[in-house]
């Protein structure tokens, strides 16, 4: 299915990431948003409130983020595509409804323009410290999808993809921006509607009476029915059976939660997306995402200029993490340097997947500003100590992890 042209602002624009995110939502067919003001995300819904009345939709500013994150789900069940946007403190308040969306399989999009935390933290300055919260923030076991744009262009592209993935897998999808990406202004090319793929809602063709709201369909995903069409369905956040009725026992729990996990895990390869640069011969791989990937790329270039075989691995979809590719790379690289604006979140995931087959190091940052490329370069250099005078590097002479450990720069947490 292609995008509805009415919402697509085809052309070349000069937009910031927040504005581009809003345009992505409109292009994806989103016509409902409920929000609560919070820096640095508010511009997304300010633009939405201005644009959507002319497109047959609406924005409502709710009384808080709890309300915003559940109002969008009501709208989804009424037939709309809906999203909300927030930042750290609001993201914390939305956690219960992230779980409700996962449990009731309500397709929706939540944008978190990350700022420095915890608590009120740094409202106007960037952070990347909500990455684990995105994955684990609501109670219970569930799966989400999270994407990490690094430019206004990607804020547009990935917001569309977020809506598409949410409809395809009936999961809440998180767009994990950061203040830098949200507020930087760059060229954004919006293609014609005919070139934008939009995943339609998986509405059932079954008749009322035959239809079971939670019977697994294609890819383990149940079909949806729309409210007010005579299906008389029941939706609950309680553990439920295929009819949607509460089922308070271990078997029902295993069947439901097992499916909620499996529909993402078993389709991980279809969901993951990553970008690689200079990876073919890389001995030291820098892992970075969002704005930090742009700094990391500079560090990789600087390393290459010094003749070091450094490469960049950038997860575009961060959850589910590109596990298979990370394991493959772990089999051939000597070291992974994870750069992120926190004290080690995605680094833990990399360590888990590398599983001792290569060294791992974290270049942390408390947030409030982006890394300096030199900080990341220093970490790369620490794993590539022997370089020939010609500038062409030889094979690293470090053969085991213990020796690598000795070369680890001070102050880096593994």
Partner 1 sequence: MSPAVMDNLCAMEFQAQEANPVEGFLRVDRMPHIWCPGCGIGTTVNCFANALLQAKLDLEKVVVVSGIGCTGRVAGYVELDSFHTTHGRAIPFATGLKLADPELTVVVYSGDGDLISIGGNHFIHAARRNVDLKIICVNNFTYGMTGGQVAPTTPVSAIASTTPYGCFEQPFNLPYLAESSGAVYVARWTSYHVRQLAHAMAEAFRKKGFTFIEVLSPCPTLYERRNRLGDGLDMMKYFKDQSVVRNGASTREVGLSFQGPIPVGKFVDIERPTFLELMNQQLGRTLDAEYTGCGEGNVCA
For the window 295-324, what string marks contact with partner 1 as x by the rule CB under 8 A? ------------------------------
Give least dist CB 88 to partner 1, A: 21
Tokens of 310: 């450094």
Options 52-60, 119-127, 366-374, 387-395: segment touching partner 1 (CB under 8 A): 52-60
Q: Which helix (H) or strand (E) holds 13?
A: strand 11-16
Judged by CB under 8 A, the number of residues near partner 1 is 46
Residue 70 found at the interface with partner 1 (CB under 8 A):
yes
**For partner 1, the closer CB: 164 or 360:** 164
Options 148-156, 222-230, 342-350, 403-411: segment touching partner 1 (CB under 8 A): 222-230
Give least dist CB 376 to partner 1, A: 42
Alpha-carbon distance of 33 to 255, in angstroms, equals 33
* Secondary structure (3-state) at 84: strand
Report in angstroms the alpha-carbon separations of 154 from 8, 18, 24, 131, 311: 16, 11, 9, 18, 21
163 to 202, contacts with partner 1 by CB under 8 A?
none
Which candidate, 232, 166, 371, places its Cα nearest to that of 289? Answer: 371
Give least dist CB 21 to partner 1, A: 19
Alpha-carbon distance of 224 to 385, in angstroms, equals 57
77 to 96, contacts with partner 1 by CB under 8 A?
77-82, 96
CB-facing half-sphere around the CA of 221: CA atoms within 13 A: 25
The answer to whether 19 and 199 have CB atoms below 8 angstroms apart is no
Which letter does DSSP use for residue 319 in this model?
E
Options 55-63, 214-222, 292-300, 310-318: segment touching partner 1 (CB under 8 A): 55-63
Alpha-carbon distance of 158 to 264, in angstroms, equals 18
Beta bridge partners of 113: 177
Which candidate, 144, 132, 125, 176, places its Cα nearest to that of 263? Answer: 144
230 to 269, contacts with partner 1 by CB under 8 A?
230-238, 245-246
Residue 386 found at the interface with partner 1 (CB under 8 A):
no
The answer to whether 220 and 203 have CB atoms below 8 angstroms apart is no
**For partner 1, the closer CB: 32 or 214:** 32
Options 75-83, 177-185, 319-327, 373-381: segment touching partner 1 (CB under 8 A): 75-83
Alpha-carbon distance of 193 to 189, in angstroms, equals 12
Alpha-carbon distance of 164 to 253, in angstroms, equals 28
Options 58-66, 114-122, 185-193, 271-279: segment touching partner 1 (CB under 8 A): 58-66
Give least dist CB 365 to partner 1, A: 35
Options 187-195, 223-231, 305-313, 336-344: segment touching partner 1 (CB under 8 A): 223-231
Give least dist CB 309 to partner 1, A: 51
Give least dist CB 229 to partner 1, A: 7
147 to 166, contacts with partner 1 by CB under 8 A?
none
List helix spans (H) across 52-130: 65-77, 88-93, 95-104
Tokens of 209: 């009476």
94 to 113, contacts with partner 1 by CB under 8 A?
96-97, 100
Binding positions for partner 1, rule: CB under 8 A: 31-32, 34, 53-58, 60, 62-64, 66-68, 70-82, 96-97, 100, 227-238, 245-246
């Amino acid at each position: 299915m292609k995008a509805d042209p009415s919402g697509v602002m085809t052309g070349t624009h000069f937009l910031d990431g927040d504005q581009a995110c809003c345009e992505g939502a409109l292009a994806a067919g989103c016509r409902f948003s409920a929000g609560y003001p919070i820096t640095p995300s508010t511009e997304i819904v300010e633009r939405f409130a201005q644009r959507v009345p002319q497109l047959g939709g609406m924005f409502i500013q709710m009384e808080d983020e709890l309300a915003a994150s559940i109002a969008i789900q009501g709208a989804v069940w009424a037939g709309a595509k809906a999203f909300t946007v927030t930042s750290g403190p609001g993201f914390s308040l939305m956690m219960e409804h992230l779980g409700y969306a996962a449990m009731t399989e309500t397709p929706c999009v939540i944008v978190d323009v990350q700022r420095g935390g915890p608590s009120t933290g740094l409202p106007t300055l960037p952070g990347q410290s909500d990455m684990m919260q995105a994955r684990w923030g609501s109670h219970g076991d569930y799966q989400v999808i999270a994407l990490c744009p690094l430019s206004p262009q990607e804020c547009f592209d990935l917001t569309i993809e977020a809506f598409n993935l949410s409809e395809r897998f009936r999961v809440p999808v998180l767009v994990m921006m950061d203040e830098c990406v949200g507020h930087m202004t760059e060229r954004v090319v919006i293609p014609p509607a005919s070139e934008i793929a939009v995943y339609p809602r998986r509405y059932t063709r079954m008749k009322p009476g035959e239809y079971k709201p939670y019977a697994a369909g294609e890819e383990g995903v149940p079909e949806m029915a729309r409210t007010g069409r005579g299906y008389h369905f029941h939706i609950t956040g309680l553990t439920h059976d295929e009819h949607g009725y509460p089922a308070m026992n271990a078997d029902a729990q295993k069947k439901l939660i097992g499916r909620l996990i499996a529909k993402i895990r078993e389709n991980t390869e279809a969901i993951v997306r990553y970008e690689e640069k200079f990876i073919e011969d890389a001995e030291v791989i820098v892992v970075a995402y969002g704005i930090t990937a742009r700094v990391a790329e500079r560090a990789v270039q600087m390393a290459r200029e010094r003749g070091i075989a450094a490469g960049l691995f950038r997860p575009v979809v961060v959850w589910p993490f590109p596990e298979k590719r990370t394991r493959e790379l772990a089999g051939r690289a000597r070291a992974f340097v994870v750069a992120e604006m926190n004290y080690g979140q995605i680094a833990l995931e990399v360590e888990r997947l590398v599983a001792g087959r290569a060294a791992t190091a974290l270049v942390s940052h408390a947030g409030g500003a982006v890394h300096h490329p030199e900080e990341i370069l220093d970490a790369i250099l620490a794993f590539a100590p022997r370089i020939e005078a010609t500038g062409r590097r030889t094979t690293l002479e470090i053969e085991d992890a213990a020796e690598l450990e000795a070369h680890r720069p001070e102050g880096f947490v593994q």
